[in-house]
Copies of this chain bind each other. A is one copy, B any other.
Amino acid sequence: MAKTHPALLDLKDLSKKIHTYQSILSLLHWDQETFMPKGSITPRTEQISLLSELIHEQKTGKAFEKKLGQLVHLGSGTPKVKGLSKSDLISLREWHRAFTRDVKLPPAFVKTFSQVTAEASQIWASAKKENNFKLFAPFLSRIIELSREKASILGFTEHPYDALLETYEPCMTTAKLNTLFSGLKKELVSLLKKIEKKKSVETRFLQRKVDRETQKAITDSLLSYLPMEKAYTRCDISSHPFSIALHPHDSRITTRILPNAFVSNIFSVLHEAGHSMYEMGLPSAHFGTPLCEAASLTVHESQSRFWETLIGRGLPFWHGFYPTLKKHLPHLLKNISLKKFHAAINQVVPSFVRVEADEVTYCLHVILRFEIEKELLSGNLQPIDLPEAWREKTQELLGITPPSDTLGCLQDIHWSLGDFGYFPTYALGNLLAAQFLTAFTKAHPDWEEKIASGDLHFVRIWLKKNVHQFGKTYNLEQLTKKVTGKSFSEEAYCAYLKKKYLSD
């Protein structure tokens, strides 16, 4: 075996330290959303700020630069050293990409950005609560300015939005998304019209009250039913469901309990469990290197949506799990057959809020945000005109007009956090999940029967083998090609929806 280059050992060591600090930062966030005493937000903000600063320093510091520079040409990223293993070459490629990007952002800019967004997200919460867009407007303006500055610091050739998009999905550009989303939009709008002509579905029983203890018991049953590593995970309650991984061996989720929407809890658990299983499936032996990091946010979202929608809204899954659910809700589900239940949880109806949207309208919500944030960034849309633009676009895409900004342009926290360019990955994840499903179906033609019989382990094994184990080895395009033999596209997703919603 060739002797490992000493700079590579140092770089691995440094990268592992950075990842370990990041895992500690994740615990601070997790605790804040779950168990932290209510009055402890001030010291928590200071802890997070200090640790974030340390992490940025280490990621962009001289020590990292020096070791990286001994192994690759800092300009081009081309390796200087011979005989590196395939996995080391992948790590170097990703370290170089991240370093080149992170080092461009001056610490003062990073600090300003985080201070402005910390305040803005507080203001956003009030503005949403009070349905008062004007309160939030000046902060939104400031964040858009900062996002433009960020785009210009990071650099782009065609559209400033490209620079931001790249953080979340390196394989995407604004131009590619324009093409992809305009095709998708046309398909979805047309599909929605066809579905709306169909008969209505009985869903009122989904709004009946289910107490907290029963909902918690449902969560526990569901978690036992899923093929998760129980020793490495836990599930708690928070106001917004999330998944957070400290390490492949410590990957936690939360869910939300709404008394009059018990299925919201179920689909939150399935969604977050999908994210969590991806993190637990990353190769822990490579912790601290890009081989143990998620490929991209699109790939991450494909995993949550795979479990939440493709598996979790399917008849086979409920064939297996419905008897358990009925045990928890004997009265509520007494006269509800499996078929009725399945129809109810798959009702397609335009609604105002993205996180509550069905499979067909979901991507239209995302496309709406994409079209708007592009225009905000380029200056074609002024922040003050956002509510009006939002109403118009909702009417255009979904055929309804939100009665308030709370249910309109103030519904999501993302812009207040400065996350411009993030939304598209929510739609892309759906497309990718459907592409994965076609490959999965080829490998397991009998998957529906197996899932109906209560087996889910083979699904996890397939995902681990085909997606999870690779970390950042492949990007979105490469991974799609490797798993499905095709390029990334909306085709499989549209076919899936048509088959599911137009076939009876």
Residues of A within 8 A of B (CB): 17, 20-21, 23-24, 27-28, 31, 35-40, 42-44, 46-47, 50-51, 229, 231-234, 236, 246-247, 249-250, 252, 287
Contacts and interface: CB of A to CB of B under 8 A. Distances in A.
Contacts of A40: 231-232, 246-247, 249-250
B28 A24 contact: yes
Given A20-B46, A37-B250, 8 more contacts: A20-B47, A20-B50, A24-B24, A27-B27, A36-B250, A39-B250, A40-B231, A47-B246
22 contacts: A20-B47, A20-B50, A21-B50, A24-B24, A24-B28, A24-B51, A27-B27, A27-B47, A35-B236, A37-B231, A37-B233, A37-B249, A37-B250, A37-B252, A38-B231, A39-B250, A40-B246, A40-B247, A40-B250, A43-B247, A44-B250, A47-B246
Contacts of A38: 231
Nearest to A233: B37
Nearest to A246: B43
A146 to B, nearest CB: 26
Contacts of A31: 27, 31
Contact of A39 (B20, B24, B39, B229): B229
Contacts of A39: 229, 231-232, 249-250
Contacts of A233: 37
Nearest to A287: B43
Q: Which of A36, A38, A43, A287 has the most CB of B within 10 A?
A: A43
A35 B249 contact: no
A252 B38 CA distance: 12
A21 B39 CA distance: 19
Contacts of A42: 249
A503 B21 CA distance: 59
A340 B124 CA distance: 58
A249 B249 CA distance: 31
A374 B246 CA distance: 43
Nearest to A54: B54
B250 A43 contact: yes
A246 B252 CA distance: 22
Contacts of A28: 24, 27
B37 A23 contact: no
Q: Which of A28, A46, A231, A232 has the most CB of B within 10 A?
A: A46
A100 B384 CA distance: 59
Contact of A24 (B47, B234, B252, B287): B47
Contacts of A21: 50
A453 to B, nearest CB: 28
A181 to B, nearest CB: 39
A44 B36 CA distance: 19
Contacts of A246: 40, 43, 47
B35 A35 contact: yes
A279 to B, nearest CB: 12
A35 B287 CA distance: 22
Contacts of A46: 20
A281 to B, nearest CB: 15
A24 B32 CA distance: 12
Nearest to A25: B24
A229 B47 CA distance: 21
A234 B46 CA distance: 20
A464 to B, nearest CB: 17
A37 B252 CA distance: 9
Nearest to A250: B40
B234 A37 contact: yes
A234 B47 contact: no
Nearest to A248: B43
A37 B231 CA distance: 6
A476 to B, nearest CB: 28
A14 B31 CA distance: 25
A155 B236 CA distance: 49
A201 to B, nearest CB: 39
Given A31-B27, A35-B35, A249 B43 contact: yes
